[in-house]
Chain A
Amino acid sequence: MALSSKDLLGIRGMAAEEIRLILDTAATFKDVSERDIKKVPTLRGKTVINLFYEASTRTRTSFELAGKRLSADMINISTLTSSVVKGETLLDTARNIEAMKCDIIIVRHSCSGAPEYLSTRIKSSVINAGDGFHEHPTQALLDMFTIREKLGRLEGLTAVIVGDIAHSRVARSNLCGLTTMGAKVRVCGPPTMIPPGIERMGAKVYYNMDEAVDGADVIMMLRLQLERQAAGLFPGVREYARLYGLNLARVARATKHAMVMHPGPMNRGVEISSEVADSTPVILDQVTNGVAVRMAVMFLLSGGIKAEA
């Protein structure tokens, strides 16, 4: 089986079989990170570039480890120290990289659509590591992998995503992925942070967090970006924490086996209390699984005869 495209740009539009293929493949790649010799020769000789226009430690390191464990040659380009500061355009940057014969380019950019823009203009495979407010597909894939690993399935589960949904590419990708795989998704946050029309993507909207987590199987907390306070989207951190923060009382309202997840980094005491953060090892499992899922994606995209873009 193969993925239907040479790129991984987003979860929207991916068939359930493709998502399942990635999750199944990731399960076997997870073993590589548990062995003494954390390397397989699968992508030997391939060159993979991390082209990050936004700061990142977690995602970039995860992709770098994934590539290195597959024996690929990994290069990190952080645009702050590159010719981008001299005004080089995205397309010129990518074309120059392609001219150095790079097989996969992993792009994180503050403009929604930047990875797709590149994918139709360069022959290399493009992996979206987060574009603007649009999508963060590998995060959603690792979240779904983690849920499936812990709860045994995705179909029929109730997942609630809490936080600044409007500005969250993680929320969008997870919403698409979970609904495609048959889960029911609720979104919850202050009205200023829930984009109008999100019901059309399949989500049920809640403004009351106690109701939202009632009976949920998965609670996914999003990081509150404190800059949004200056934009008037929430009045204060303490009020946000009181109304939309995850504490032990709210966790108790969910099902007994409920999972608490967070894409990281956490603001302890804001969207998630320290007690909850320290009682959920799943959040660290997400990080471990991230490397496995990214290895699976790179493996599946690196097949010889590429599908048409």
Chain B
Amino acid sequence: MSLKEKALILDKAGIDRALTRIAHEILEKNKGAKDLVLVGIQRGGVHLAKRLAARIKEIEGVEPSVGSLDITMYRDDLATRKSQPVPQATDIAFDIQDKMMVLVDDVIYTGRTIRAALNSVMDYGRPRRIQLAVLVDRGHRELPIRADYVGKNLPTSAKEKVDVMLIEDGVEDRVVILAE
């Protein structure tokens, strides 16, 4: 099954505007950046978390701590996969106790990644609050999980795939839908 690009959802300007809005919304909802920490979920959320931290610094003058979280070991599908995914690094170099944490990912789909992320975060400590920021919400939730901040709501079919490409990975900033 080879997928081809069906439509361009967000170009660089679109991604930038979405992230700027999300940064403002995070500051609005949390009434500032006090005790705010951002944790990007490997691999899609890590660069986005860093970009959000930079935006928040521009707006509020304070840069929140940024960490990365790999959830491979907490997946619920390890027993049924053909091969195991290679875990990436988890790097949370700060204490998360009592902090206002915002998890960041590129796409939310079934919600199982976020469930795994919540379980993983709890093994590192006890944040005061955990919120979720995603660039794209493509629907089809299989668990009762929702994002607090959404860049773009995108209805998709299960046969399609949403690809978020970023400059940090060596390609142009674009969000596309892939279909057969």
Contact = CB atoms under 8 A, between A and B. Distances in A.
A29 B120 CA distance: 14
Contacts of B123: 35, 37, 39-40
Interface stretch (B14-22, B73-81, B131-139, B164-172): B73-81
Interface string B82-103: 1110111110000000000000
Nearest to A29: B87
Contact of A24 (B72, B82, B86): B86
A37 B81 CA distance: 26
Contacts of A274: none
Main secondary structure of the interface of A (DSSP, over half): loop
A100 interface: no
Contacts of B119: 41
Interface residues of B, number: 21
A238 B80 CA distance: 57
A36 B82 CA distance: 32
Contact of B78 (A1, A27, A42): A42
Nearest to B89: A28
A25 B87 contact: yes
Given A28-B89, A37-B123, A305 B73 contact: no
A39 B124 CA distance: 10
A304 B79 contact: yes
Nearest to A26: B87
A166 interface: no
B70 interface: yes
24 contacts: A1-B83, A2-B82, A2-B84, A25-B84, A28-B87, A28-B88, A28-B90, A29-B73, A31-B90, A35-B124, A36-B124, A36-B125, A37-B123, A37-B124, A40-B73, A41-B74, A41-B119, A42-B73, A70-B73, A299-B84, A302-B84, A303-B78, A304-B80, A304-B81
